[in-house]
Structure 1
Amino acid sequence: MRIGDMFTCCDETSGSQLEPVLELQEKSGELAALLQLLHHPPSPPLELPRDNKFDPVVYDPASIIPLPLLKPLLSTLADKYSLEEEIVDVLKVHLLAHAPAHSLEVYGFASLHGMEWEVSGASQYVLPMASYRFEEVKVIPTVAAYHNLVRLQDFRVKALRDLLLGEELFPHGYGKCQSHWEMSNEKWDRQRKALIGRIESATDVAGEMDALTDTFQDCKMCHKACTAAVEMLAYKCRRLPRRLDQLPNLY
């Protein structure tokens, strides 16, 4: 039943002298938002340019429907008033647009309402779970939803460590500096060993290693090798799974 069908309950032929009245339980703000949706269906939020295809999509904050208005529309009103699928799909895009700034809230809300695509989309922005207070974690509705985040973050930490340990300054001797290669290798190895124990799921491993590049300014070959190693590390890290739907099936 569409929202317009609701008003057929106000039967003008009933013989009553009273004005027909339809009682609604929604708050005035929610009804105003609902009517606005019906009369002026929303457009998707404005997508901002990305530096490369591996970066997550980011939207213009000014074009996003505020989360306090959006959540009741998606949680109850969309189903209760049978909003058209096209409108609901746009609302879900607005929900996901909030994920970078409100990752745990969006993840919990989407998990509660069975929005699998939005769950995966929000999962990439969730900070390491240990960084949240107990009260914040309560927005995650089920143990399974919590466990899925732990799985994703555990996979990323292990994968980032493996990539870092496997990246050499002079791979297979390529670009090897005969004068400084031993000293440069030691600096590279010392830097990554210092980093390895601090890696979290959102750590920019390549960015951390890039701090070493300036220490090779006195040698063009070592500087070039370090720059290439950092760029290769960044490329490999960008290709790692960031979302739940990208996790290997057996993990």
Structure 2
Amino acid sequence: MTVSWTTFQCNNSDFRVRLIPDGTEYPVSRLALQRSEVFRDMFACCDTANQETSSGSEGGEEDVLELHEKSGDLAALLRLLHDPPAPPSELPRTGKFDPIAHDPATIIPLPLLLSVLFVLADKYAVEEAIGSVLRQHLLAHAPTHALEVYGFASWHGMDWEASAASQYVLPLASYRFEEVKLIPNVAAYHKLVRLQDFRVKALRDLLLGEEIFPHSYGECSSQGRKTMDSWDRQRKALMGRIECGESSSETSL
């Protein structure tokens, strides 16, 4: 089911957030807002101040928080705090060696993640549980937007996500200059080159060391030598076709 991040409604509100540019008010839950460290600290300070100066004010302004945000961004922030997203759903695998794939309908769109949700999560210090799920959605885009995910993760210190996304990046020479500019700096570029080189060498070493008859198990006396020679030719040919970002099905003979 598609979630609208531009609208927000709270049915159990006990607080209000007012948009400064146009005065629009959103009924919200104080408990939900405290998933943000910024709001949590604000409530702690204000509640302490109210206890020290309890004058029995009857005005309604004490339960209103004014924020200067775009309307769509504020709605996205409130939805993020009140109804945190679930991780993307994995699709069933047809084989045990198939890579993990996610249901596209359950993945938060990449532009929304990069330009809105991660920005808000950082600005309002959203709790780690929500940040972790956002990173899962980011990584779910890696198979189709590998370089963009790698660049964003590298720039924002998400080392694990950057490393995981790098496995989907094609050889860098295959990208246009405008695409390579998604890599934020020389250090991230160099790390990606080293990761790709390491993976290619590891796969080639693994393939070269794989015997068709390990410890002579299953070797046929009449066809054994012919089979081993055939396997040796095929694995050497396959070694030359191993490149970064390719799946096993793409490199199979």
- How would you bin the TM-score normalised by the shorter chain? 0.5 to 0.7
* Structure 1 residue 174 displacement after superposition: 2.8
Call closer, same or farther: CA 1:134–1:181 in 2, change over 3 Å: same
Paired-residue identity, %: 64
- 1:42-101 deviations in Å (ceiling 9; x for gaps): 22222334443x665432111111111111234421222232333222222211221222
Does structure 2 retain, via aligned residues, the 8 Å contact 1:98–1:106?
Answer: yes
* Structure 1 residue 203 displacement after superposition: 4.5
The aligned residue for residue 190 of structure 1 is 233
Count of residue pairs the alignment pairs up: 197
Q: Could you tell me how far apart the structure 2 residues matched to 1:111 and 1:195 are? A: 32
Q: Does 1:92 align with 2:129?
A: no
Q: Could you tell me how far apart the structure 1 residues matched to 2:239 and 2:65 are? A: 67
Q: Could you tell me how far apart the structure 2 residues matched to 1:142 and 1:75 are? A: 20
RMSD: 3.1
Q: Pick one of 55, 64, 68 that aligns with 2:111.
A: 68
DSSP-derived class of the 1:2 partner: helix
The aligned residue for residue 2 of structure 1 is 39
Gaps of 5+ in 1: 14-19, 212-251
Q: Could you tell me how far apart the structure 2 residues matched to 1:21 and 1:90 are? A: 27
Does structure 1 retain, via aligned residues, the 8 Å contact 2:77–2:117?
Answer: no
Amino acid at match of 1:138: K
Q: Pick one of 94, 102, 105 that aligns with 2:145.
A: 102
Query: Higher strand proportion, which one?
Result: 2
* Structure 1 residue 139 displacement after superposition: 0.8
Gaps of 5+ in 2: 1-37, 47-56, 58-63
Amino acid at match of 2:222: S
Call closer, same or farther: CA 1:166–1:99 in 2, change over 3 Å: same
Q: Give the TM-score of the pair, scaled to structure 2.
A: 0.65
Call closer, same or farther: CA 1:94–1:125 in 2, change over 3 Å: same
Matches within 5 A, 1:124-135: 124-135=167-178
Q: Could you tell me how far apart the structure 1 residues matched to 2:111 and 2:248 are? A: 35
Call closer, same or farther: CA 1:34–1:198 in 2, change over 3 Å: same
* Structure 1 residue 21 displacement after superposition: 10
Query: Higher helix proportion, which one?
Result: 1
Amino acid at match of 1:36: R
Q: Give the TM-score of the pair, scaled to structure 1.
A: 0.66
Q: Could you tell me how far apart the structure 2 residues matched to 1:205 and 1:182 are? A: 26
Amino acid at match of 2:192: L
Q: Pick one of 68, 78, 92 that aligns with 1:24.
A: 68
Q: Could you tell me how far apart the structure 1 residues matched to 2:196 and 2:228 are? A: 30
Q: Does 1:113 align with 2:156?
A: yes
Q: Could you tell me how far apart the structure 2 residues matched to 1:137 and 1:76 are? A: 23
The aligned residue for residue 179 of structure 1 is 222
Q: Could you tell me how far apart the structure 1 residues matched to 2:139 and 2:248 are? A: 26
Deviates more, 1:65-74 or 1:175-184: 175-184
* Structure 1 residue 140 displacement after superposition: 0.9
DSSP-derived class of the 1:147 partner: helix
Call closer, same or farther: CA 1:3–1:180 in 2, change over 3 Å: same
